[in-house]
Structure 1
Amino acid sequence: MAKIEEPTIDVMLFVDKEKRRVLFAEADEDFVDVLFGWLTLPLGTIVRLMNKQSQMGCLDQVYSSVEDLSTDYFQTKACKGMLLAPLNAASGHCCQLKINIDDTKKGALYICRDTSCSASVGDCRFSSVRGAVCKCGKDMQYTGEWSDNHGEDAAPAGEDADSGVFVIGCFKFIITDDLIVAPASTSLMMSLFQRFGVGDPATLEKTVIQLNSQKITSLLGRSLTSKQSLTGIYFDTPIDYDAVDLFVLSEKLYPDRQNDADQKLSNVKIRVLQTRNSSLLYAEASDDFVDLLFGWLSIPLGSMIKTYCHRSLKGCVDNLYWSIYGSAKGYVRPECQSLLLDPKAVPFSGCRTTKILQVEELAPSKLQIKGCVKCFKTGGFAGLGRCLEQTPVYSRNFGRIQYYAYTYCKNSVKSTNLHESNPKLPNGGSEKGEAYVKGGSIKFMVTDGLNILPLSMSSTLQAVRAAQIQPGNLLENEVTLTNFQIMELLRAALVSRNALSSVLLPPKKRKLEA
């Protein structure tokens, strides 16, 4: 059997060998489409693709906390999967990219396979999330892939076949080392020569590299922490896996702080354990606070950049977003503008975090299957052919075809309406249940670096011992979080190893380590 070759994308690099730096690259729409597609990826997907080494502040630790936490702490088994492998609302577009690094598929369909299910035929439920539960209480099971393009996730039509998935026209693009994208032109070339001090263009070495999915993923990882992502790929420089500065927010948080005393969210309170000299050990929190942090994993990258503008990440991935507004303006399909600049979350992934960050959620999907509900539940998509197969019935007297009768399935209703179910609800349905974490009296420990675990005497003692602090030097304070503090805490989770300290401790008392 012939081996299927992995797709690659050719990119021409212009390299200053003497300074060991890639100045810029030239590529067609395939590469630019892939770069812009990053903006649709949920943050949890990026962490997973980076093998929990994304270097986005504390977000790797938040992801690991979800992994380590028992499903008993979540509303449903599906909730944990929704955070560890969040679906992309623009998957219909991204699946058409020449290289799609996101292996989560929104087209997977799960249904209750019980033909005597208490859910009515007109209210048959499906989910795109593994582990979802039917209204009758039974686990939904995988039944195949559906490929109908519908709603806002519909992929581009067949017109403009020469255009890309997101970009317009068959153009050559220039991509700088820090991922600013612009259509190729003479004026741009001259400005780049001036910017990089290129006196003689002949001194630049042109080389073509082939990028596969592994290289594209590595490029994404570098763009999160470095301003020289193309240089890093070409010269294979090691990724700095400790690239996040301690208290990187200390100079940025408070100058633009506003008076938000009236924005207190009375039901989001935490108890902070700190020393008398204001070193923070951990916070004791309820499910609502933990749900805020976990919900960060479902937010698309583009939505995060939109919220925090130029203050979102240390790397250069932001430049892709702002290129659509600036240097690449007019070269993105109009129908794709909102997909990239204001990405939505998939149905039922909305939570308190999406509300605070004003990330919209797609409406639940409705599907119509050509076949009866019993055959579909029994055989999935493969069983629909058997359901619709007909046999001619001949008249006894004349031997002519009198009519056609269904061969195997006698059910006369050959259409099934499917409604998307909420994976967060223990009994399915379409209600709005938003929380991922189960409510109740359970308390959690949240460390300064956002390691989240159930609160216990063992974990608290371990934290105190590790800090080598006497109990008499400890203070406990209750904090009622404001909208501003929550937004800054989420931003701190992206760029700081000490997210709680960055937001909750007064600037004059923060300690910067060498």
Structure 2
Amino acid sequence: MAKATSVKLKLLIDTKTKKVLFAEAGKDFVDFLIYLLSLPVGNVVRLLSEKTMVGSLSKLYQSIENLQEAYFQPKQNKNSLLNPIVPIFANATKIPLLLPADYTQTLYLCDLCYLFAYVPDLPCPDCGDVYGEGFVKGMVTYMVMDDLEVKPMSIISSITLLKRLHVKVLDALEEKDVNVGMEEGLKLLKASMECKTVLTSVFISNLGA
């Protein structure tokens, strides 16, 4: 397995309702969330395993795994279906990877045109800008909602959100710093497929808030 690193996340928790209102996150965590969107279904099933998967995809995966090669078309590779290679981005070593290194391939992104390249520091053929790392730009603080909605963070947006959530007792709000590593990453992936209170589901029970 690829060596797991961790990223920092600051949670704003309503201790009265025991819910995460939102998280203050940097580029690394948002890149990680977007990375989850790039995972093929086969990898998701393999990562979560049969015991933790919701629905019938694990049974489909297991049946394909047990199906003899003789039933596949000559040019089809069963292993490539069950363990597809996932493109990752240059800064993926800074986020908790969920896949073995053998199943990943590094890509680079043009921040202006959103074109991809396999080699870093090349000029983009459309705009001439150099291919950068990751999905979103750094030097920006992002607000991640409990349901994983992502938006740039600002004082106005924070106040508006608290008003929309009908938060009246500010003394009930508490900040918590958490680390997100491979274990938390898997829990986030699983929770994102099961509910709309992902951050609360993953972190509140662990924090004892």
User: TM-score interval w.r.t. the shorter chain?
Assistant: 0.7 to 0.9
Question: Which of 131, 136, 139 is residue 170 of structure 1 equivalent to?
Answer: 139
When residues 156 and 233 of structure 1 are mapped into structure 2, their CA distance, relative to the original with a 3 A threshold, is farther
After superposition, the C-alpha distances for 1:189-236 in whole angstroms (9 at most, x for unaligned) are 011101221123332010101111111111111001110110011124
3-state DSSP class of the match of 1:50? helix
Query: Are the equivalent residues in 2 in contact too, given 1:94–1:100 (CA < 8 A)?
Result: no
Q: Sort the Cα spacing of 1:105 and 1:97 in 2 relative to 1 into closer, same or farther, 3 A.
A: farther
SS in 1 for 2:23: strand
In the other structure, the counterpart of 1:197 is 166
AA of the residue aligned to 1:220: L
**Residue 100 of structure 2 is aligned to residue 103 of structure 1:** yes
Q: For 2:121, which of 143, 152, 157 is the aligned residue?
A: 157
Whether contact under 8 Å (1:34, 1:99) holds in the other structure is: yes
Q: Is the 8 A contact 1:177 1:228 kept in 2?
A: yes
Judged with a 3 Å threshold, the aligned counterparts in structure 2 of structure 1 residues 185 and 6 are, in CA distance, closer, same or farther, namely same
**AA matched with 1:54:** M
How big is each residue's C-alpha offset from its partner over 1:211-262, in whole Å with a ceiling of 9 and x where there is no partner? 111111111110011101100111248xxxxxxxxxxxxxxxxxxxxxxxxx
Distance 2:44 2:182 in 1: 14
- Which residue of 58, 61, 68 corresponds with 1:60? 58
Give runs of aligned pairs for residues 15-54 of structure 1, distance below 5 A: 15-52=13-50, 53-54=52-53
**How far apart, in 1, do the equivalents of 2:4 and 2:35 lie?**
19
Larger Rg, first or second structure (1 or 2):
1
Higher helix share: 2
Separation of aligned partners in 2, 1:97 and 1:75 = 39
User: Closer, same or farther in 2 for the Cα pair 1:199/1:107, shift >3 Å?
Assistant: closer
Please list every run of 5 or more consecutive structure 2 residues that lacks an aligned counterpart in the other structure: 109-114, 124-128
Cα distance in 2 between the residues matched to 1:210 and 1:8: 6
Alignment partners' CA distance in 1, 2:43 and 2:170: 40
* TM-score scaled by length of structure 2: 0.79
3-state SS of the aligned residue for 1:227? coil
SS in 2 for 1:10: strand
Percentage of identical aligned residues:
29
Asked whether the 8 Å contact 2:98–2:185 carries over to 1, the reply is yes
Q: Is the 8 A contact 2:146 2:200 kept in 1?
A: yes
Structure 1 residue 156 displacement after superposition: 5.5
Instruction: Choose from 174, 178, 187 the match for 2:156.
Output: 187
Q: Partner residue of 1:79?
A: 77
Deviations 1:387-439 (A, max 9, x none): xxxxxxxxxxxxxxxxxxxxxxxxxxxxxxxxxxxxxxxxxxxxxxxxxxxxx
Deviations 1:167-200 (A, max 9, x none): 0131111101000101110121011101221123
TM-score, normalisation: structure 1:
0.34
Q: Partner residue of 1:210? A: 179
The CA distance in 1 between the partners of 2:107 and 2:17, in whole Å, is: 51
CA 1:10/1:204 → structure 2, altered by over 3 Å: closer, same or farther? same
8 A contact 1:45–1:84 mirrored in 2: yes
1:228 aligns with 2:197: yes
Tell me the distance in 2 between the aligned counterparts of 1:156 and 1:60.
Answer: 37
Gaps of 5+ in 1: 109-146, 238-514
How far the C-alpha of 1:100 sits from its partner, in A, is 1.9
| Structure 1 residue 84: Cα displacement | 1.1
Looking at structure 1, the residues matched to 44 and 94 of structure 2 have their Cα atoms a distance apart, in angstroms, of 17
How do 1:271-290 and structure 2 match up within 5 A?
Answer: none
> Structure 1 CA distance, aligned partners of 2:170 and 2:60?
47
Q: Secondary structure at the match of 2:64?
A: helix
Runs of 4+ in 1 over 6 A off after TM superposition: 158-161
Alpha-carbon contact 1:9-1:212 (below 8 Å) kept: yes
Tell me how far 1:97 sits from its aligned partner.
4.7
Q: Are the equivalent residues in 2 in contact too, given 1:93–1:155 (CA < 8 A)? A: no
Amino acid at match of 2:53: S
SS of residue paired to 1:101? coil
Kindly tell me: are residues 76 and 152 of structure 1, through their superposed partners in 2, closer, same or farther at Cα, counting changes over 3 Å? farther
Rate the CA distance shift 1:210–1:96 in 2: closer, same or farther, 3 A.
Answer: closer
Against the structure 1 CA distance between its residues 184 and 107, is the aligned structure 2 distance closer, same or farther, given a 3 Å change threshold? Answer: closer
**2-structure distance, mates of 1:93, 1:229:** 27
Q: How many matched pairs?
A: 191
Question: Does the residue aligned with 1:91 lie in a helix, a strand or coil?
Answer: strand
- Does the residue aligned with 1:217 lie in a helix, a strand or coil? helix
* 1:1-20 superposed Cα distances (whole Å, 9 cap, x missing partner): xxxx8411110011112211
> CA 1:166 to 1:20, structure 2 compared with 1: closer, same or farther past 3 Å?
same
Question: Amino acid of the residue matched to residue 37 of structure 1?
Answer: Y
